[in-house]
Amino acid sequence: MKFLFIKLKHIGDSLLLTPMIRSVRAADPQAEIWVVVRRGCEGILAGCPDIDRVLTAAAPEKNKRRPWNWASDFGLAAAVRRERFDYAFELGDGDRGRWLTLISGARHRCANAAGRPLHWWWKRTFTDFSDFWWYKSHQVEKDFYTVSDCLPEPLPLSIPPLSFARERTRPWSPAGNLTRFAVLHPGTRWSIKRWPEQRWRELCARLLERIPAIVLSCGPDPEEVRLCTALSRSAPGRIISTSGQTSWAQLAGLLHRAVLFVGVDTAAMHLAAACSCPTAALFMGSSPIEWAPWQTRHVVIQPEPADEESPPGSPAERISVNMVLQACDELLRDEGRT
């Protein structure tokens, strides 16, 4: 059986495909599994050994697209059409993915028709539908049940963890001599998810009373790099910044070794779950019901409810350093337990 899974969304969304893909592989060990994601998302799937091939589509943001992207997209469509897939699944709920599913010519073209009702025209282009109502469900469950509903035999009900295999990680030499450390990922491009810099600074200082070292992870965005560089200067030698230079495989290598991950709801948080790293997750602008760390030990920290006596400020300001530190202490107390 030959499968095509299309999800043209963000990096973390791509990683959330892996439990479903693991289940498909377990159900059909001889299956050929292809995945299409947005360009820039392919690296986080490199740790999933159940994927045979990853293809990429041009980024949908206008400011990231180039005049020659049409040629790349045409080549992608031609490659997909040529493979004659048995099943093609559109899992991103977007028109670009739907067009690609149609172009694939797969015998079974599948989508979810419950969470966001499909236009009548799109309904005529698909052959199989899932009626899984995915609102108030984790996004891993959305992908899993959408696929399971459209297969002749449902997938096993036990959904596996996210996947980034240890043997597919890469070392990051600046952290080579660290034996016990935490990984913190303070940056994000989403302003609503940002926690105040001073609170990250205080958290770092207080965590260093508990563990010998901290690795600060960040993407290549200049503001994220600046933030991590500034935080690392508060304790040179004990706090190390990746400066946005690590690959996903290198970050996965760090997370497989780390005793703790602390960060906001980003792809790095999901990668920590894929590496079974205990996670303290700050949720300020998204729902932990849909996006919480999947199947790893974790504590979700959310803003305290606002009331008439609350000081003015953003939700992020209603998460104190003590709240995050309490979550870290809870996870560190469990260190070494199975």
Which residue, 286, 258, 283, is CA-closest to 273? 258
- Which residue did the predictor score with more confidence, 306 or 279? 279
Q: Confirm if 1 and 88 have CB atoms less than 8 A apart.
A: no
Other residues' Cβ atoms within 10 Å of the Cβ of residue 128: 17
CA–CA dist 259, 332 (Å, integer): 7
Residue 329 reports pLDDT greater than 90: yes
The crossing angle, in degrees rounded to 10, of helices 248-257 and 267-274 is: 50
Structural domains in the chain, sorted by start: 2-150 (3.40.50.2000), 168-333 (3.40.50.2000)
What's the whole-number mean pLDDT along residues 182-202?
Answer: 94
Residues facing 239 on adjacent strands: 214, 236
The DSSP output letter for 275 is T
For 61-71, b/e burial (b = at least 16 CB within 10 A) is eeeeeeeeeee
What's the whole-number mean pLDDT along residues 217-238?
Answer: 96
CA–CA dist 46, 190 (Å, integer): 25
Residues facing 123 on adjacent strands: none
Q: What is the DSSP string of 111-174?
A: EE-SSSPPPHHHHHH-SEEE----TTS-HHHHHHHHHHHHSSSPPPSSPPPP---GGG----GG
Terminal-to-terminal C-alpha distance of the chain = 37
Residue 338 reports pLDDT greater than 70: no
User: Which residue is associated with the tokens 């792809």?
Assistant: 267
CA–CA dist 41, 330 (Å, integer): 32
**Candidate from 63-77, 135-149, 215-229 with smallest mean pLDDT:** 63-77
Q: Is 84 buried (19+), middle (13-18) or exposed (0-12) by CB count in 10 A?
A: exposed
What's the whole-number mean pLDDT along residues 300-315?
Answer: 78
Residue 270 reports pLDDT greater than 60: yes
CA–CA dist 17, 15 (Å, integer): 5
What's the whole-number mean pLDDT along residues 96-103?
Answer: 95
Residue 72 reports pLDDT greater than 50: yes
Per-residue pLDDT, 237: 93
Q: Is 51 buried (19+), middle (13-18) or exposed (0-12) by CB count in 10 A?
A: buried
Return the structure tokens found at 82. 């040529």
What's the whole-number mean pLDDT along residues 216-242?
Answer: 96
What's the whole-number mean pLDDT along residues 50-55?
Answer: 98
Q: Confirm if 329 and 211 have CB atoms less than 8 A apart.
A: no
CA–CA dist 327, 317 (Å, integer): 17
**pLDDT level of residue 70 (50, 70, 90 thresholds):** low
Q: Is 266 buried (19+), middle (13-18) or exposed (0-12) by CB count in 10 A?
A: buried
Per-residue pLDDT, 67: 56
Q: Confirm if 269 and 263 have CB atoms less than 8 A apart.
A: yes
Sequence letter at residue 210? R
Per the prediction, the chain carries an average pLDDT of 93
Per-residue pLDDT, 158: 94
What is the number of alpha carbons within 13 Å of residue 222 lying toward its C-beta? 0
The DSSP output letter for 10 is -
Residue 71 reports pLDDT greater than 50: yes
